[in-house]
């Protein structure tokens, strides 16, 4: 942080840990081990314990899905369809940008790249206090646009019943299988497979601390989208920013949970002071004010910096999940910043649009992971693989000689001989060891 910066409001809580609490690690490990050993019986036991939910089948039949969807008001279904058109359109543009190709690098030497969809994906759609129906669009629909043949989606029960809007969102997004089960047992069942649930190749979707830890422990046996932490927002503002807009947008993300960081970096002392005043004024009238208030108290920060150069530099150091730019020239951030999950430019745009309606994916890196990765996108569901073919004998012989020398530098004699065989078969090289192999005296 520049020495001339001023911390107007700092966080009261210590920085969020990037590792799970020991009790969460232990509980998750116990559930995963049980599901691995006992399959469906374990899923049912833990579902009953955590959710008081033990239906005859965790998977909804087509008739059950149709019945649940029919209970959702048509206006809600229309809104879901609208949002999914936005998500599908952007995801399809991403897919169209990924091309297979083949190049000839030497005479008769062909190298190629293919983008192959994974075979099966699991999509976790959170429920409980915040049933994130938008996560169905982001995980299920994006996977289907990528070409994934089987998408198994799951969401927790809502007070003993399937949550209608979440089920509708998963169905409209194209889920091939829909399960009503939540928590670690759901993630473990999809990752490991049971007697009635086939294992998937990748898990995607946000969840609570237990779901996040389950994905961490299962990573390697199955692919995952991201290691997720609490939702984050960071706003860069200059003197042109409206403090009411700034305060509203900070609280819109703070309501995700009491550990959600909400940070303002501004070049204006007035914007800083008035934003804090507006936050305090808005909190009592916000239905989620208790949660947002704790987040603001414990994780909220307001920092005044000497200029936009310092603002962008500091914002990059945070590497926040969501970064809003509320300045006179917001597009400057496209060229000045590099560490963010998603960038929201100008006061006509907001993070809530990205979360709910605009079409970009809202499964994004947190806890500084934006330094090295972006968020969930079509490419996460694709395996970018290569192939090689040499049709020209002279090129194979030339590469064989170089391979032999390069391998022996590293003391890999077996590798060297793979090259030698071809340099001898297709060229004039005669390594000593090949005399016997080729029947020469």
Residue 204 in contact with residue 218, Cβ under 8 Å?
no
Transcribe 374-431 into DSSP letters.
Answer: ----GGGGEEEEEEEEE--HHHHHHHHHHHHHHHHHTT-HHHHHHHHHHHHHHSS---
The 10 Å Cβ neighbour count of residue 243 is 22
**SS3 category, 113:** strand
Transcribe 341-387 into DSSP letters.
Answer: SEEEESTT--HHHHHHTSSS------TTGGGT-----GGGGEEEEEE
Closest CA to 283 of 247, 234, 233, 323: 247
Residue 101 in contact with residue 114, Cβ under 8 Å?
no
Helix or strand holding residue 236 (H, E): strand 233-237
CB-side exposure of 49: number of CA atoms within 13 Å? 11
Structure tokens at 132: 């994130």
**Which residues are known catalytic residues?**
321-322
């Amino acid at each position: 942080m520049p020495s001339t910066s001023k911390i107007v409001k700092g966080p009261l809580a210590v920085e969020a840990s990037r590792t799970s609490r020991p009790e969460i690690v232990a509980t998750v490990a116990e559930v995963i081990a049980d599901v691995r050993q006992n399959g469906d019986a374990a899923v049912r036991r833990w579902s009953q314990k955590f959710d008081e939910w033990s239906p005859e089948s965790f998977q909804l039949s087509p008739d059950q899905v149709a019945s649940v969807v029919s209970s959702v008001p048509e206006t809600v279904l229309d809104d879901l369809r609208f949002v999914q058109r936005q998500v599908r359109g952007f995801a399809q543009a991403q897919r169209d940008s990924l091309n297979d190709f083949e190049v000839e690098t030497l005479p008769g030497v062909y190298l190629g790249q293919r983008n192959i969809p994974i075979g099966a994906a699991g999509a976790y759609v959170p429920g409980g206090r915040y049933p994130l129906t938008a996560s169905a669009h982001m995980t299920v629909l994006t996977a289907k646009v990528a070409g994934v043949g089987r998408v198994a989606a799951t969401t927790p029960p809502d007070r003993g019943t399937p949550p209608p809007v979440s089920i509708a969102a998963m169905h409209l997004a194209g889920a091939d299988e829909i399960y009503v089960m939540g928590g670690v047992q759901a993630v473990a069942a999809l990752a490991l497979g049971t007697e009635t649930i086939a294992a998937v190749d990748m898990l995607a979707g946000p969840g609570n601390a237990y779901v996040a830890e389950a994905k961490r422990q299962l990573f390697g046996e199955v692919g995952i989208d991201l290691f997720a932490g609490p939702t984050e927002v960071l706003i860069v503002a200059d003197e042109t920013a409206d403090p009411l807009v700034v305060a509203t947008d900070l609280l819109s993300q703070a309501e995700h949970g009491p550990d959600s960081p909400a940070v303002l970096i501004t070049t204006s002392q007035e914007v800083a002071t008035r934003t804090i005043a507006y936050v305090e004024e808005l909190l009592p009238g916000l239905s989620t004010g208790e949660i947002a208030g704790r987040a603001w108290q414990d994780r909220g920060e307001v920092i005044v910096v000497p200029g936009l150069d310092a603002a962008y530099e500091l914002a990059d150091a945070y590497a926040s999940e969501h970064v809003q730019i509320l300045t006179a020239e917001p597009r400057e951030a496209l060229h000045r910043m590099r560490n963010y999950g998603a960038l929201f430019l100008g006061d006509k745009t907001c993070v809530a649009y990205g979360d709910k309606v605009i079409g970009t994916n809202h499964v994004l890196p947190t806890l500084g992971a934006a330094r090295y990765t972006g968020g969930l996108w079509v490419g996460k569901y694709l395996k970018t693989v290569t192939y090689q073919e040499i049709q020209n004998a002279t090129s194979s012989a030339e590469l064989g000689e170089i391979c032999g020398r390069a391998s022996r530098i590293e003391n890999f004699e077996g590798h060297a001989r793979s090259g030698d065989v071809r340099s001898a078969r297709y060229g004039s090289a005669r390594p000593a060891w090949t005399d016997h192999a080729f029947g020469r005296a």
